Structure 1
Amino acid sequence: MKITVIGGGPGGLYAAILMKKQWPDYDITVYERNAPDSSFGFGVVFSDETLGFLDDYDNPSYEAIRRSFAYWDNVDVHFKGEVIRCAGNGFCGCSRLTLLQILQDRCQEVGVHLNFNTEIESVDQFSDSDLIIAADGIGSFIREQYKDWFQPQVDLRRNYFCWLGSSRELDAFKYFFRETQHGPVVSHSYQYEPGRSTWVIEMPPETWEGFGFGQMLEEEYTKVIEDIFAEELDGHSFITNRSLWRRFPAIRNKHWVKDNIVLLGDSQHTAHYSIGSGTKLAMESAIALFEAMKTNSEVPAALTAFERDRRTDVEVTQHAADVSLSWFENMGRYWDMEPLQFAFGCMSRSKKLTYENLRLRDQAFVDQCTEVFNRQVQAAGFDVDTDTPPMFTPFQLREMTLDNRVVLSPMAQYKAQDGVPNEWHFVHYASRAIGGAALVYTEMTCPSPDARITPGCTGLWNEEQRDAFKRIVDFAHNESRAKMCMQLGHAGRKGSTQLGWDKMDHPLPEGNWPIYSASPIPYLPESQVPIELTREHMDQVVSDFARSARYADEAGFDMLELHMAHGYLLASFISPLTNQRKDEYGGSLENRLRFPREVFHAVREVWPAEKPMSIRVSGGDWHEGGLTTEDLKELAVVFRDAGVDLIDVSAGQTVADQKPVYGRMFQTPFSDLVRNEAGVSTITVGNITSADQVNTILVAGRADLVAMARPHLSDPYFTLRSAAWYEQKNQFWPKPYLAGKFQLLRQSEKERDELVELKTMARPRSHEVIAPNEKLEAGVGPAKISS
């Protein structure tokens, strides 16, 4: 077989090595446009885990790489004159040029042909190749030649960065955050060989433009950056190597394979340098391609298997990288935080490192971050121990005090008859209330019969419904410490549909009622065309909401929320995708918010002043032309000034052809923006499944409360179990359940110890590598090492 590799980066070279080792008779040639001793940038980063993979697949190259690595166990966050250290991270740095030369030498050892200083103008010159590996980098000409097939998507991110080196040796991976006269700057810095370190300088465009870097020569802006980081450089200067200003291109391709051509490395995918996975991804993809070739004897089958089996892993890493880079794009958002909280947010930014994961790595670091969080709780007037897990700290809104930060998210049950909650609802809400959640939401409850999503939705337009809800609320108040929140909403154009387990969002087979929206746009092609609300309709809707709010107060609810998300009636006014009105209720965001504000003011007027009110909003529509993050911020400020106490932030469900990006805690960034830029308390939602994630979100300051839906469906006692796991003996338990409390406490203590032991044993093996000078022992001393 003849294999041609275009591009002599780590991915292409490693693929050639693995295949030549396995099939010595294959004719494998690598073509590289640069010289063998040419490389841009300075160091590359691997984790312990990645080094293990390299050892498994080619021990000689692994040994050569291992001997060239500088190892560090610690990450230091330098912020506002303090250095916050987190140990136990296990990363290695190596010169990029050294890595390339090691792989080049290994290629020659196994018999791979190497051609340098060779420009390839067309893949047509390799018509006799059985396999062409296009590893020709970010600007891949092969990808561009067949872009109609590969369909690349290049998202050019907003921050500017440049790659510099220095002779200063570093004892840890260091984030140097600096406030300048033009805005924040950060350097991602690490040692990669004795006497050499990498410094990736990053800043938002406002800072970059303020300094005028775009009009400076390389030596001019290098001098300015040296002045900014003079203290950190400690007398050393920067080294340049085509250290040009760039914006990071996040690259994805719809297809990776065309005929016998396969994309590999940066031509196929990129991952932001802030998670140190670019080289890792390329070499792991080389391993995956090699495995596919081993398993499938024919090239087409092998390439199909490679793309099918590898894509998920790549997309998971890219998602983590996207979340990480977003944190740095918005680092100014966190600038007013205390250094320890800022550092925790930096460490947990990609969602791959969490409260519990970091605790295993460096308990001192997490304990100090927890203490900072609890000092803030104490400052709010609560008597809590400084080691209390954040999810078990109280929180107050107006005169309502919650025992912990766990919320039962509103979930439609579709079990009501004529809007009246029944025994199903009683059991559903009562069991979650005694299960320990501090705040229990009703499902979206409708202020009129024609406001319902389905015939099975609850309503609050008459006294029978009020009294049925009061029975539930009274039980929760008498038998638990839970507070009850009534969520009121009007389905709008998504109303008169089938039950959720039938054909969700589709019209009823019969008995449909008229539906309303901001504009006459059906949700689905087969949906009813909604009636555009007139002024008369608006007045009726406002009156209906106010009536329901009074009933909610009479039923004893502690809090009330207006649903302005998910494409329902109020949301249909807010989103430009569903509001095409030409009157004063359409057009600008200010106009689109006009009717939702009218409803809010009418409800706030009748809702008791001592009781809090929240709104549920969409942070985005997951669709081009929909709501933007700037819209979300403006919306939050408008309702903050109108008197809202809390904003419950989710996203999507506005239009049927949305394209959401799912993942763990995937909607938390919207809550983060509202809380830290608009200054409003928030609830976050969206694929949050564990107590660990709850604590991670809270300590990082990304939300004040955390709502969970599906975990509560499978375990009504999620909060009680979590309290036992964290040895929170003060968590309220109903008296009939106290025997279970003490048993669960004993059982959880044993299980936690066993799990910690197993996870500690399962950590990636350490590698004997060259350590930089002045390396501190991992885990020794407090997290804060200087100030």
Structure 2
Amino acid sequence: MRIAVIGGGPGGLYFAYLWKRRHPDAVVELFEQNPANATWGFGVVFSDQALEFLRADDPDTVEAIAPKMESWRNITLNLRGESVEIDGVGFSSIGRLTLLSLLQERVRAVGVTPQFDKAIQSVDALQGYDLIVAADGLNSLVRRTFEGDFGTSLSYSSNKFAWYGTSKRFETLSQTFVKTERGAFNAHHYRYSPTMSTFLVECDRATWHAYGFAGKDAEHSKAVCEEVFAETLGGQPLISNKSVWRNFPWIWNEHWSFRNMVLIGDALHSAHFSIGSGTRLAIEDAIALTKALETEAHVSTALARYEAERKPIVKKLVTASRTSADWYEKFPEHMKADLMDFAFSYITRSGRIDDARLRTMSPNFMAGYEASRSKS
């Protein structure tokens, strides 16, 4: 089989690696429009559950990336100068560029040479392939060319966010909520290496307008965020990497393939950063697509199988992601609550965690929460 993979992010690299490792005689060509060492953002997060899923299918890859990961067991919430930890929530993080470099090494080791700085300008340039895997992200050329056939829908969250880094080290995945005279901000921050952390700043649209961010360049916006979160940053500056204000895009495709083209990762669906599942979903898409292609004799029936088996799983996670994002759309209102009520609302926001599960998962937090409720 001759396969073209468009996009050198985690999903595209991982599919190319999986297929070539299992089918050494296959021709797999991977095209990425950016240089090998270019990436947007800083760290990416995997839940313990996501890592175990990957370990079950490909323990060697997990063993390769695990030494480069930072891990923690708790989430810390900071509100009005107070903090609370929610125990038993296991996550690991890794620098996005580090992850890409490790996956590039694995792709090369199985005989695929990624073609970087190779932008595909038209789907017409992809003639002669049995399968085209579109792993080319939110702005996917393949999806945009045939969006009517894929049944594409696109909308945006109203909140604004900017994705920074910092050399300030945070011991856990943390959220800091700050009220100012002109509005409310939230920062999602966590370390992804011994010396670096992700620091994603979010605010609602009213706050964004009140601060005049529409008229500020990236450097001035960064300076405002450094001032708002000066205490959290402990005097450390924020680091930019294409760190401009954005609205989160919601992408969904009702049809996952068209002709011999199939979508995976962000080209296919987006999941809000508040549940940290974008990279996980892309890698799991690659696994599911590989298994479907190995099960069915024909590409067309394999692509139908991939969608039928994977879609309900993804839809469930994306629904939880939207519910989580809805909570953040109203986070200035949630900030008015007592700290423990606020924390309970936060950890149950996606609808996937109820009281019973929380008592098992986070016994220390639940003991404190229920004690606070008994006093009120």
TM-score tier after normalising by the smaller chain length: over 0.9
Corresponding position of 1:141: 141
Deviation string, structure 1 residues 46-94 (Cα, Å, up to 9, x no partner):
0111112222333332212101100011100101111010111110010
Alignment of 1:26-45 (within 5 A): 26-45=26-45
Paired amino acid for 1:359: R
Q: Which runs of 5+ in 1 are unaligned?
A: 377-787
Number of aligned positions between the proteins:
376
Give me the whole-angstrom Cα distance separating, in 1, the residues matched to 2:129 and 2:364: 57
Give me the whole-angstrom Cα distance separating, in 2, the residues matched to 1:48 and 1:155: 30
> CA offset at residue 21 of structure 1?
1.0
Paired amino acid for 2:366: V
> CA offset at residue 172 of structure 1?
0.5
Corresponding position of 1:55: 55
Corresponding position of 1:250: 250
Q: What percentage of residue pairs aligned between the two structures are identical?
A: 39
Structure 2 counterpart SS, 1:371 = helix
Query: Does residue 1:306 correspond to 2:306, yes or no?
Result: yes
Give me the whole-angstrom Cα distance separating, in 2, the residues matched to 1:53 and 1:159: 32
Give me the whole-angstrom Cα distance separating, in 1, the residues matched to 2:340 and 2:332: 16
Q: Is the 8 A contact 1:18 1:58 kept in 2?
A: no
User: Which protein, 1 or 2, shows the higher relative CO under an 8 Å CA cutoff with sep ≥ 6?
Assistant: 2
Paired amino acid for 1:327: W
Structure 2 counterpart SS, 1:114 = coil
Corresponding position of 1:366: 366
Structure 2 counterpart SS, 1:92 = strand
Corresponding position of 2:290: 290
Alignment of 1:474-623 (within 5 A): none
> CA offset at residue 120 of structure 1?
0.2
Deviation string, structure 1 residues 595-646 (Cα, Å, up to 9, x no partner):
xxxxxxxxxxxxxxxxxxxxxxxxxxxxxxxxxxxxxxxxxxxxxxxxxxxx
Give me the whole-angstrom Cα distance separating, in 2, the residues matched to 1:258 and 1:369: 50
Structure 2 counterpart SS, 1:115 = coil
Give me the whole-angstrom Cα distance separating, in 2, the residues matched to 1:347 and 1:140: 33
Structure 2 counterpart SS, 1:111 = coil
Give me the whole-angstrom Cα distance separating, in 2, the residues matched to 1:336 and 1:62: 41
Say which structure is richer in strand: 2
Paired amino acid for 1:90: G
Give me the whole-angstrom Cα distance separating, in 1, the residues matched to 2:262 and 2:6: 10
Paired amino acid for 1:317: L
Structure 1 counterpart SS, 2:221 = helix
Alignment of 1:266-285 (within 5 A): 266-285=266-285
Give me the whole-angstrom Cα distance separating, in 1, the residues matched to 2:241 and 2:60: 29
Query: Does residue 1:330 correspond to 2:330, yes or no?
Result: yes
> CA offset at residue 288 of structure 1?
0.5
Alignment of 1:650-669 (within 5 A): none
Corresponding position of 1:192: 192
Query: Does residue 1:96 correspond to 2:99, yes or no?
Result: no
- Indicate the larger mover: 121-130 or 237-246: 121-130
Q: Which has the larger radius of gyration?
A: 1
Corresponding position of 1:339: 339
Corresponding position of 1:734: none
Aligned CA RMSD, in angstroms, stands at: 1.0
Paired amino acid for 1:196: M
Query: Does residue 1:349 correspond to 2:359, yes or no?
Result: no
TM-score, normalised to structure 1, is 0.47
Corresponding position of 1:171: 171
Structure 1 residue ranges, 4+ long, deviating more than 4 angstroms after superposition: none
Give me the whole-angstrom Cα distance separating, in 2, the residues matched to 1:53 and 1:371: 36
Structure 2 counterpart SS, 1:113 = coil
Structure 2 counterpart SS, 1:200 = strand
Q: Is the 8 A contact 1:18 1:57 kept in 2?
A: no
TM-score, normalised to structure 2, is 0.98
Paired amino acid for 1:369: Y
Query: Does residue 1:220 correspond to 2:247, yes or no?
Result: no
Give me the whole-angstrom Cα distance separating, in 1, the residues matched to 2:339 and 2:280: 31
Paired amino acid for 1:22: R
Give me the whole-angstrom Cα distance separating, in 1, the residues matched to 2:181 and 2:86: 29
Q: Is the 8 A contact 2:14 2:286 kept in 1?
A: yes
> CA offset at residue 355 of structure 1?
1.6
Structure 1 counterpart SS, 2:3 = strand
- Indicate the larger mover: 176-185 or 59-68: 59-68
Give me the whole-angstrom Cα distance separating, in 2, the residues matched to 1:352 and 1:73: 18
Structure 2 counterpart SS, 1:136 = coil
Corresponding position of 2:17: 17
Give me the whole-angstrom Cα distance separating, in 2, the residues matched to 1:155 and 1:372: 39
Query: Does residue 1:116 correspond to 2:116, yes or no?
Result: yes
Give me the whole-angstrom Cα distance separating, in 1, the residues matched to 2:49 and 2:368: 28
Give me the whole-angstrom Cα distance separating, in 2, the residues matched to 1:205 and 1:182: 12
Give me the whole-angstrom Cα distance separating, in 2, the residues matched to 1:5 and 1:62: 22
Give me the whole-angstrom Cα distance separating, in 1, the residues matched to 2:127 and 2:219: 45
Corresponding position of 2:152: 152
Q: Is the 8 A contact 2:87 2:364 kept in 1?
A: no
Q: Is the 8 A contact 1:160 1:248 kept in 2?
A: yes
Give me the whole-angstrom Cα distance separating, in 2, the residues matched to 1:65 and 1:53: 14
Give me the whole-angstrom Cα distance separating, in 2, the residues matched to 1:96 and 1:59: 20
Give me the whole-angstrom Cα distance separating, in 2, the residues matched to 1:214 and 1:198: 23
Paired amino acid for 2:183: G
> CA offset at residue 325 of structure 1?
0.6
Paired amino acid for 2:40: F
Give me the whole-angstrom Cα distance separating, in 1, the residues matched to 2:121 and 2:162: 29
Deviation string, structure 1 residues 746-767 (Cα, Å, up to 9, x no partner):
xxxxxxxxxxxxxxxxxxxxxx
Corresponding position of 2:73: 73
Deviation string, structure 1 residues 122-169 (Cα, Å, up to 9, x no partner):
222222100000111101111111112112111111000000000011
Give me the whole-angstrom Cα distance separating, in 1, the residues matched to 2:329 and 2:168: 27
Structure 2 counterpart SS, 1:77 = strand
Give me the whole-angstrom Cα distance separating, in 2, the residues matched to 1:368 and 1:52: 30
Q: Is the 8 A contact 2:157 2:248 kept in 1?
A: yes
Structure 1 counterpart SS, 2:114 = strand
Give me the whole-angstrom Cα distance separating, in 2, the residues matched to 1:58 and 1:335: 42
